[in-house]
Chain A
Amino acid sequence: MSTIFDIIGSTLIAGVFLLLMINLSTYSTQSKAASDSELILINNAKTLADILNSDLRKVGFKYTGTSILTAEPKKFSFFSDIDNNGSTDAVTYTLSDSLKADGTPNPRDKILYRIVNGDTSKGPSLGLVDLKFSYLNQLGQTTNTISEITYIKTELWVETTETVDGTYPFTYWEMTINPRNL
């Protein structure tokens, strides 16, 4: 009789330990996934910021006329010799609608279009859900007058492309750039 109790008892204890290990393994997998997503989120935000940072600093480079074409909250166009090859390029930044980023589970992410001389080939989503340009004059005041623009403020809202525990963690990136050629 005591042998039966021993077997039942040890089975229960083994089951408890087994469940514990399964839970721990699941937690470990989820934690790593969340951590991976967060890392990807940070890297995506940095990549987007690097692209914008590099290009916006070149607004008006080797262009003598009015170098800004369009200065709207969701669209910014300018002239610059963006690749320093001696010829002027027209560069436009704008945001797609969310339907364009159909390759990711996130229903809200969009694609940042970087259109150089009319080339509209699109890149990956990188989780960008919103983008806002605002424009400041020499005194740091908001302006809509193109000739007065001295600083370009860019705000990025980036989410993970994959869900993490049913949500999409997000990050916000803001930078204000003073293109020296303006």
Chain B
Amino acid sequence: MGKAVLILALGISAIIGVLIINLNANATSGVETTVDMFKSTKARLIANSGIEVYLEKLRRNKTLSGKFPGNSLFEGSFDIAISGPDSQMVIQSQGNYYGTRHKSIVTARRAGVIIPPVNSALYLSAQNLKVKLQGNIEIDGNDTNMNGTPGPNPSLPGIAVDTPGDSAYVVKELKPKVSKDIKGYGGPPSVHTVNDSTDWHALSEHYIFAADLSLTTGTYSTGTFGTVSQPKITYVTGNVHFSGNASGSGIMVVNGNLTMSGNFRFNGILIVYGNSTIDVKVVGNGGIYGATILVGQSVDIQSTGNASFFYSSQAIKNAQTNLKSSRFEILSWWE
């Protein structure tokens, strides 16, 4: 009897054991299915996040290219490979999460830099305008190449303003000696009104977002803020004084007052923008080839030196061709 009971007990135990093993195996498989789904989702998100991370880096480092493996993120990692020109940039990202991998491939194009409408050698836009031009200042709306030779484009006004009242005011303030050096469309003194509806605040924000160089308040007597072959977008926050042999090329946005002295030379577009008063003082022998734009509630420009403000389509075109923005257009996204 005892043996029979033992055999029965063993038999029941075996059946229950097999049942439990089977149910546990199925439960484990069910959990694995869920975990697999979680892992693949996580790997995909890591891969996509990796692309976003490197798009942000490309915004700051405009020459970034190559392979960047082993970036940690969300308890996983991602490997990045960047190739191709700015017009057809390919960014591959492989997300890794606990053995599960996901590859995302994005093609993107770096958007071009927005060039503001250039309507003169020197554009003054303000509700309260104050102009005091002395010395041997020369403002020329005739297209001039960066080497001083004539450019191909039609002449623009030497000075452009928003209203006939401003135009009359500027002409009245010009001394005869200076008046003959305001050249360009219509002949000296070339001062004309233009209809400009540019959102300078938005445009300045665009340049600030894309800035290659950021300068703070101070005096810069040396330094190169972009060259003709490698122009830069320079953002200056605060009052700045360029002196000595400092130079630059590209687009410069000054959010504050500007003083130029010495032999400061800039090729491209110089925008001095502010919500309130802008004071621009020009002494020395500086030169701007391209266009100079002063926009604010009040603009006060004073010159006493030999500075030159030339309209140069060549300098503007050079900036447009060679500057890189920080915005990307996503052409395709494979995930």
Question: When the two chains form the complex, which single residue of B4, B40, B333 contacts A181, counting CB atoms closer than 8 Å?
Answer: B333
With A21-B12, A24-B15, A35-B23 in contact, is A57–B30 under 8 Å at CB?
Answer: no
User: Inter-chain contact count A-B, CB under 8 Å?
Assistant: 60
Interface residues of B in 268-312 (CB under 8 A from A): none
> Within the assembled complex, what's the spacing in Å between the Cα atoms of A27 and B12?
12
> Within the assembled complex, what's the spacing in Å between the Cα atoms of A35 and B1?
37
Query: Are B37 and A46 within 8 A (Cβ)?
Result: yes
Determine whether A38 belongs to the interface, using a CB cutoff of 8 Å to chain B: yes
Q: Is the interface of B mostly helix, strand, loop or mixed?
A: helix
Query: Are B23 and A42 within 8 A (Cβ)?
Result: no
Determine whether B29 belongs to the interface, using a CB cutoff of 8 Å to chain A: yes
Query: Are A42 and B330 within 8 A (Cβ)?
Result: no
Query: Are B334 and A84 within 8 A (Cβ)?
Result: yes
Central interface residue in A14, A24, A27, A35, by most chain B CB within 10 Å: A35
Residue of A nearest to B36 (CB): A46
Question: What is the minimal beta-carbon distance from B133 to any residue of chain A, in angstroms?
Answer: 52
> Within the assembled complex, what's the spacing in Å between the Cα atoms of A28 and B21?
11
> Within the assembled complex, what's the spacing in Å between the Cα atoms of A57 and B104?
11
Query: Are A180 and B12 within 8 A (Cβ)?
Result: no
Q: Is the interface of A mostly helix, strand, loop or mixed?
A: helix
Query: Are A180 and B333 within 8 A (Cβ)?
Result: yes
Determine whether B332 belongs to the interface, using a CB cutoff of 8 Å to chain A: yes
Determine whether B168 belongs to the interface, using a CB cutoff of 8 Å to chain A: no
> Within the assembled complex, what's the spacing in Å between the Cα atoms of A180 and B331?
10
User: A residues within 8 A CB of B332?
Assistant: 61-62, 181
User: B residues within 8 A CB of A61?
Assistant: 332-334
With A28-B15, A181-B333 in contact, is A14–B4 under 8 Å at CB?
Answer: yes
User: A residues within 8 A CB of B12?
Assistant: 20-21, 24
Question: What is the minimal beta-carbon distance from B39 to any residue of chain A, in angstroms?
Answer: 12
User: A residues within 8 A CB of B26?
Assistant: 32, 35-36, 38-39
Determine whether A66 belongs to the interface, using a CB cutoff of 8 Å to chain B: no
Question: When the two chains form the complex, which single residue of B30, B333, B334 contacts A39, counting CB atoms closer than 8 Å?
Answer: B30
Residue of A nearest to B5 (CB): A17
Interface residues of B in 63-99 (CB under 8 A from A): none
Determine whether A70 belongs to the interface, using a CB cutoff of 8 Å to chain B: no
Question: What is the minimal beta-carbon distance from A181 to any residue of chain B, in angstroms?
Answer: 6
User: B residues within 8 A CB of A42?
Assistant: 30, 33-34
Question: What is the minimal beta-carbon distance from A178 to any residue of chain B, in angstroms?
Answer: 11
> Within the assembled complex, what's the spacing in Å between the Cα atoms of A42 and B23?
15
Question: What is the minimal beta-carbon distance from B40 to any residue of chain A, in angstroms?
Answer: 8
Determine whether B19 belongs to the interface, using a CB cutoff of 8 Å to chain A: yes
Determine whether B205 belongs to the interface, using a CB cutoff of 8 Å to chain A: no
> Within the assembled complex, what's the spacing in Å between the Cα atoms of A58 and B335?
7
User: A residues within 8 A CB of B115?
Assistant: none
User: A residues within 8 A CB of B333?
Assistant: 61, 180-181
> Within the assembled complex, what's the spacing in Å between the Cα atoms of A38 and B34?
13
Determine whether A138 belongs to the interface, using a CB cutoff of 8 Å to chain B: no
Residue of A nearest to B19 (CB): A28
Residue of B nearest to A39 (CB): B26
User: B residues within 8 A CB of A32?
Assistant: 19, 22-23, 26
Question: When the two chains form the complex, which single residue of B8, B23, B36 contacts A31, counting CB atoms closer than 8 Å?
Answer: B23
> Within the assembled complex, what's the spacing in Å between the Cα atoms of A42 and B4?
43
Determine whether B18 belongs to the interface, using a CB cutoff of 8 Å to chain A: yes
Q: Residues on A close to B: CB < 8 A? A: 10, 14, 17, 20-21, 24-25, 27-28, 31-32, 35-36, 38-39, 42-43, 46, 49-50, 57-58, 61-62, 84, 180-181
**Can you report 6 A-B residue pairs in the complex whose CB atoms are below 8 A from each other?**
A24-B15, A28-B22, A31-B19, A36-B26, A42-B33, A62-B332
Given known contacts A10-B1, A46-B36, what 5 new A-B pairs fall within 8 Å (CB)?
A: A14-B4, A24-B12, A39-B33, A42-B33, A180-B330
Please name the 3 residue pairs, one residue from A and one from B, whose CB atoms are nearest each other, closest first: A180-B333, A28-B19, A35-B26
